[in-house]
Amino acid sequence: MLKETLLQDIPEIKVHGRTTACRAPLTLFWTASGFECNVTGSEFWVELEVTYEVYEPWFSYTINGDWIGRQMLQKGRYWVPLFRGMSPDSVKNVHFFKDLQAMSDDGNSYIHIHAFRYDGEFCPVVDKKLKIEFIGDSITSGEGLIGAREESDWIPMFFSAVKSYTYQIAQILDAEYRVFSQSGWGVHNTWDNNTRGAIPKYYKEICSLMPGPENERLGGNHPHDFASWQPDFVVVNLGTNDAASFDQPEWVDAQTGECHKMRRNADGSYNIEDIKTFQQSVKDFLALIRECNPKVYIIWCYGMIGIPFQLYLCEAVSSYARETNDRFISYLQLPDMTRESVGSREHPGFLCHQQAAQVLAQYIAQVR
């Protein structure tokens, strides 16, 4: 006989990812956000409520650390089975992941967790000793990790949380982690020069990049309580889209007429004034991360889709560290994508993410 219990009434459930304090229901905003539990019994279901206008959410889940399933979700409130017929006395670790990033182009794309049906008992989830926050763009969102190499559609199906370097690092280091990322965005502007798509502008709120009244109702625009979850490491993987914007047309705000363009000189070199603007944005973001996470070690990494901005990033990171006497910050180059390691949508595939995870995990282990 299956029991039915609301999530808010199960203290053993561990919540992952930035979200509000509300548990009735639990709202999942970000990539890799979700829940984890240890539960006995032979059968286990989760009650989901799913909303979206354009971009349907996907989820993955693992049982005892192994990737069991992945599913496209449709609108509505319904029950989804996660396992059936398992040995009732054994404890199963169930981890549910939101595969899709927070969608800044769809203010109604959410997964809500309401309740569980089960025939066993819940056991506590032991806290991990290491916490890591990953901040990035499409690479960190796991874009291109699913699908054939020739796929080019920008759709939720080609995003994956559990094949990314973030998940792999967490597995290698036995760490709890969170992801704060958005495809196409950068430190100063997006790949196409839109200054509204700068990740640092949204860092202090729970999920303020989601537009519209629904996000306001859910509390996504509320200040994030940094004291509630202090990471040991913040890994920033940004700069790829900032570099790309130098080769894109001027962005014009249709409502205000505001224009913005990161420029190249007549000889093809980067405009030094715009480079300095980018570098100041890097330094300002480092200062913001330090303000919000006083004791964290910050790693700025880059290189999975080329390294045209490596010199400028290194200069900005070292300049900030020198000016502030901050010894807990460094730069790390990651392995570049190759013909063998490319995934769908001309993004890094699993092999590239695996290589990056090994480099980053080894580096984190060294500086701990």
Average pLDDT over residues 357-365: 99
191, pLDDT greater than 90: yes
Using one digit for the tens of pLDDT, what is the confidence trace for 15-36? Answer: 999 999 999 999 999 999 999 9
Triad 359, 360, 366: Cα angle to 5°: 95
Average pLDDT, rounded, for the chain: 98
**Starting at the edge strand that comes first in sequence, how are the strands of the sheet with 329-333 ordered?**
175-181, 130-136, 233-237, 297-302, 329-333
Peptide bond into 249 cis (omega under 30): no
Using one digit for the tens of pLDDT, what is the confidence trace for 92-109? Answer: 999 999 999 999 999 999
**How far is 186 from 151, CA to CA, in rounded Å?**
24
Buried-state track 147-158, b at ≥16 Cβ within 10 A, e below 16: beeebeeeebbb
Average pLDDT over residues 180-205: 99
Cβ-based neighbours of 245, under 8 Å, separated by 6 or more: 186, 189, 190, 191, 192, 193, 262
Report residue 230 as tokens.
């202090």
Q: Are 265 and 210 in contact (CB under 8 A)?
A: no
Closest to 242 (Cα-Cα) out of 287, 203, 195:
195
**How far is 67 from 99, CA to CA, in rounded Å?**
12
Residues linked to residue 259 through DSSP beta bridges, in sequence order: 252
Q: What percent of the chain has pLDDT over 90?
A: 99
Q: How confident is the model at residue 113 (pLDDT cuts 50, 70, 90)?
A: very high
Using one digit for the tens of pLDDT, what is the confidence trace for 324-353? Answer: 999 999 999 999 999 999 999 999 999 999
What pLDDT is stored for residue 332 in this prediction? 99
What is the pTM assigned to this prediction?
0.98
Q: Are 197 and 190 in contact (CB under 8 A)?
A: yes
Closest to 164 (Cα-Cα) out of 28, 304, 63:
304
56, pLDDT greater than 90: yes
193, pLDDT greater than 90: yes
- The four Cα atoms 106, 160, 145, 72 give a dihedral, to 10 degrees, of -70
What pLDDT is stored for residue 255 in this prediction? 87
**How far is 10 from 18, CA to CA, in rounded Å?**
19
**How far is 315 from 321, CA to CA, in rounded Å?**
10
Enter the DSSP assignment of 136: E
Using one digit for the tens of pLDDT, what is the confidence trace for 242-287? Answer: 999 999 999 999 889 999 999 999 999 999 999 999 999 999 999 9
- What pairing do the DSSP bridges indicate for beta strands 297-302 and 233-237? parallel
**How far is 178 from 167, CA to CA, in rounded Å?**
9
Average pLDDT over residues 142-155: 98
Domains and CATH numbers, the chain: 3-122 (2.60.120.260), 130-367 (3.40.50.1110)
